[in-house]
Amino acid sequence: RALLQKALQESVVRNFGEVGAGNLFTGMTVKYYNPIASVFIARVSREWHTMFWSAITFIRQLKESEVVCRVLSVSNLSRSCSRAALFHVRDRVALVRKQLKLHEHAQKEKLDKEAAALEMSLCELEH
């Protein structure tokens, strides 16, 4: 979480200045973060959600990994955002399972581990 919040803060400061960062981060909290599933859920005040949305799309790197951030859902209810995250993780599990069928034995172990980790993330999101 700390890595994600630092990247968000740097993006906001770079694109919207210190005042923008102050305004956004007074009401922002990361409610859920799972790096395995590549999903996070954040609560942001309504008046700053467009700044938050813009800031996350400018993030291109976490640690040393290239990333592309996109918004899956914007909602008043965290339940709706959790549902969108759940659907996203289910789609990723299906994709990994499909890749498992297509790849040679050497990569199957790696993909099996990824599928298992994603399925654990699914269980976490469902509860």
The answer to whether 67 and 61 are in contact (CB under 8 A) is yes
DSSP letter assigned to residue 58: T
pLDDT tens-digit series, residues 63-121? 888 888 888 888 888 788 888 888 888 888 888 778 777 766 656 777 777 777 877 77
Distances (CA, A) of 8 to 73, 84, 125: 18, 21, 23
Looking at the predicted structure, is the pLDDT value of residue 1 above 80? no
User: Cα(67)–Cα(62) distance, rounded to whole angstroms?
Assistant: 7
5-21 per-position pLDDT tens digit: 889 899 999 999 999 88
pTM of the model: 0.71
pLDDT band at 54 (very low <50, low <70, confident <90, very high): very high
What does the pLDDT average to over 32-42?
Answer: 83
CA angle 69, 3, 127 (to 5 degrees): 70
**pLDDT in the model for residue 10:** 92
Q: Which of 39, 41, 18 is nearest to 28 (CA)?
A: 41
Q: What letter represents residue 57's amino acid?
A: T
